[in-house]
Every structure is written in structure tokens, then in C-alpha cells.
Amino acid sequence: MIAEALLYAATLPMTQTSHRPFVRYSVNLWSRAGRCSKAWAEHEANSRRAILSAMADCKQRRTAVVLGSGLLRDVPIRELAAAFDTVVLIDLVHIATVRLKMRRKTYRNVRLIERDLSGYDELAAGKVPEPLGFLRNVPYLDFVISANLLSQIGRGVQRRFEAERARMPDDTVEQLIAAHLSGLSRMPFKSCLVTDVSYAVIDRNGKTHEEADLMHGVEVADARASWTWPVVPTGEESPDYQVIHQVIAAY
């Protein structure tokens, strides 16, 4: 708890005021990632491997953007920084440990940007959501990675939608998931999507007690790779259950 409190205190003043409510989530994720490091290792390695495979197809390597850079555990930042002239990491919150890591001389070509990537406010204002439209203004953009972000957008949008249902379209979650996918596919850069698409709650006997589609019925591009991720391994929240997510990589 002390480590989490210190990280929270260090991150808060570095974060935009409007994004500060999300700092605690990022710190909690950092804490869980540490506790579940062994259970998450294969997923993180698979994510990095998919990104490197997609990067190998890039004809030019000027600028790369990582959407949902998070803790960087699932992103091959060292290889990206070595391969591209500029790497831009975009997320709602960049915790203090990530900021300190990026200040090393090895990462002098890495830039950090805080941004809401959901498109929710555009939709709430009655506009056609284009959450990745800003990428058109990124100079010399050759590669974009959506790193285990899309399902998180879906969850965050769902929470906001349930609190503001009266003023939002019924298909808010579906629209914003589709807008993210459209933004990756319709622009002239190489992209790599890594996302969990569903989850199941499974007991010790292998019986499934709950399942959900994290894409809310929105069709995702054909996967080049897929694997499972024990997001909540047995013993993390319950001695009897685990939560397994299905992950895909499309590029």
C-alpha cells in the first residue's frame, strides 16, 4: 500500500487536472501487474511479439504512435525507440515510473501525450465521433499500435453511458468501438491492433460461470494471432475462480 500511495502522489501533479480521476486506476493496474507478473508474462510477450511482427512490415520508420501505452509491459518500447526516428506514447495517464523511464538517454526520441482516446465527448456533443482523427496531423506517421486499449475504452464508455443514458445514443458503446477500429483501418499507415475481445469466469473445475463479448458485437478484423490472458488468476480475487480473457492481434 505504501508503494501505491507514493506512486499516486508522484503521478498526480504530473497529470492534467481533467485526467486525475484516472490516476488511481493506473496505479491499481501497476500494482496488479506486479502481483500477477508470472500469470501475465505470456500475454505480455505475445503482445510484444505481435507488435514486432507488424513493425517488420513497415517500409518506412519515421514516426510510431502507441495508443494506450499504459505501463509499457506489453509494448516493445526499446525496439520501437531504436527503429523509429520518433515514438509517441498516448494515454490518459502516464504514471511517474513510466515518465522517469522515458527520461533516460536511451529514450530521447520518445514523447508522451495525455489524451482521451474514446471519442465520448464528440458523440455527446452530437458530432460524428472520430477519436483517432488527430492522427492525420502527426507528421511522417508510419506505424500506429493500439495496445490492449480497445476493451478498456468499451468499459469506460459503458460506465459513463450508464450514468448519462438519457442524453446519449443507445448504441454509444458500439459506435465508439467501431470508430476506433475505423480510425486504424482507414488511414495510410501500418497499424497493429492488440485487444482482448471476450472474457470468461471459470472455476477450479473448468466450469464457465459467466462470459461476455468485450467488443459488444462489433466485428473486428481477422486475427493474425490469438491467445488467452489470465487477467484475474485464481487467488487474486477468489481462491475458487479465475477470469480469462481472449486476446487477438490484427495487423
Check: CB of residue 209 under 8 Å from CB of residue 203. Answer: yes
Check: CB of residue 235 under 8 Å from CB of residue 221. Answer: no
Quote the pLDDT of residue 55.
Answer: 98
Quote the pLDDT of residue 131.
Answer: 97
Check: CB of residue 118 under 8 Å from CB of residue 170. Answer: no
Per-residue pLDDT tens for 113-167? 999 999 999 999 999 999 999 999 999 999 999 999 999 999 999 999 999 998 9
Per-residue pLDDT tens for 20-59? 999 999 999 999 999 999 999 999 999 999 999 999 999 9
- At residue 106 the predicted structure's pLDDT band, cuts being 50, 70 and 90, is confident
Beta carbons within 10 angstroms of residue 77's beta carbon: 21
Indicate if the pLDDT at residue 1 is higher than 90: no
Q: What is the residue-wise DSSP string for the chain?
A: -HHHHHHHHHHGGGS-GGGGGGHHHHHHHHHHHHHTHHHHHHHHHHHHHHHHHHHTT-S--SEEEEET-TTSTTS-HHHHHHHSSEEEEEES---HHHHHHHTSGGGTTEEEEE---S-HHHHHTTSPP-TTGGGGGSTTEEEEEEES-HHHHHHHHHHHHHHSGGGS-TTHHHHHHHHHHHHHHSSSSEEEEEEEEEEEEEETTS-EEEEEETTTT---PPPSEEEEEEEE-TTTS-SSEEEEEEEEEE-
Per-residue pLDDT tens for 200-251? 999 999 999 999 999 999 999 889 999 999 999 999 999 999 999 999 999 9
Quote the pLDDT of residue 33.
Answer: 97
| Look-up of cell digits 506514447 | 89
Going by C-alpha positions, the residue among 37, 78, 28 that lies closest to residue 55 is 78
Q: CA-CA distance, 15 to 13, in Å (whole number)? A: 5
The correct CATH number of 2-191 out of 3.30.420, 3.40.50, 3.30.1360, 2.60.40 is 3.40.50
Q: CA-CA distance, 67 to 63, in Å (whole number)? A: 13
Going by C-alpha positions, the residue among 214, 216, 223, 212 that lies closest to residue 175 is 216
